[in-house]
Every structure is written in structure tokens, then in C-alpha cells.
Structure 1
């Protein structure tokens, strides 16, 4: 029952708003268009500020950093692939390829193993 009443009230407000807009358009078309332009301009400014300042959260900044890193990574892999194809086309034998692969130095791994308490049982009562 409440839902039906709310629908009737909203429908009535929309009808009255439509009648008011139509009457304003017939009475003063230039003023009507000017008011619509001002409303759109203010709405655009509010939308810009809301989007630029309010939604600028650290998560969004991290997302931008991730996208930037992904682009760099793609660029680097593309660049490496281009070099490999040029080398292969210039190199005539497999032995020279093996020599080039031996000369390459591996980059140091920056990973650390953290020892945990794997053997110790958890005390479920403390949760």
C-alpha cells in the first residue's frame, strides 16, 4: 500500500513539473533556455569537483600507478621482443646464439623468505 502511494506522489510531482516547464517555455522561451543553460553549467562544475576531489582516493592513485607500471612493462617486453627478433635475423648459427645467452647476466632476486610458525597449532579459543 505504501509503495502505491509513493508511486502516485512521484507521478504527480513529475506531471506538475512537466506542466511548469511547458508553461515556462511558452511564457518566456529565452529565459527558459537561459535557466536550463545555467543549471547545466552548475551541474557540470559540481560534477567536475566531485569527481576530481572527492573520488581522488589513495586506491585510485594506486590504480593509476598500477596502470602506469603495466604500460612500462608492456613497453619493456615489446622492446625486448624487438631486439630478439633483430638478433635472430642477424645471427647465422646456433652456436653464436648460445654464446650470447651465456653472456647475459641474471638480475639479482629481491625476495626474502620469512620463517613462520608452521608447526605450531593455533589456539582456537583466543579468537
Structure 2
């Protein structure tokens, strides 16, 4: 019931906004264009500032590149492992041979982090 109420409230607000935009366009087209241009400039400035200050640092970018490389290697290794494994074994000899095989190494790769950096802890 609550979802239906909020849906109708949002729908009402959208309808009122559409009516306001149409009336502004009809009564004052020049003012409407100025208003839209002003909004576009403000949104553009905010977008530029967010992009500028939220760029990843070079060390973070390096870590991300290392993670992608390790993920690609592990995915490749996992896919080749899946394709080479037969789905059905017919002989008992092949079962005993499979048990004797050593387990493959893990498909995970260690990614170097910032191990030398001290944690910022408050002392009491």
C-alpha cells in the first residue's frame, strides 16, 4: 500500500512539473531558455568539479590495473580447467588416476598492497 501511495505522489509531482514547464514556455519563452541555460551551466560546473576531485590517485590506478590483470589470468585459468575436465569418466582406472593426481594450485593471485603503511589509530 505504501508503494502505491508514493507512486501516486511522484506521478502527481511529475504532472505538476510538466504543467509548470509548459506554462513557462508559453508565457515567457526567453525566460524559459535562460532558465534552461542557467541549469545546464550549473550542472556542467558541478560535473566538472566532481570529475576533477574524484580522479583516482596514481597508486590506486596501479592497484586497479594489477587487479584486472590478476582477474583476467584467473578467469583464463579457470576456463581452461573447465574445458579440459571431462564430464563423464567411463573406466575405473581413470578414477584411481584422478585421485592420485596432485591438486592444482589455487587460481587466485596475490596483489601487492600497502603493507608498509601504518594505520592511523587514535591513542588514548
Q: TM-score range by the shorter chain?
A: 0.3 to 0.5
Compare the two structures and name the one with the higher helix fraction: 1
Q: TM-score, normalised by structure 1?
A: 0.46
Larger radius of gyration: 1
Bigger RCO (CA 8 Å, 6+ sep): 2
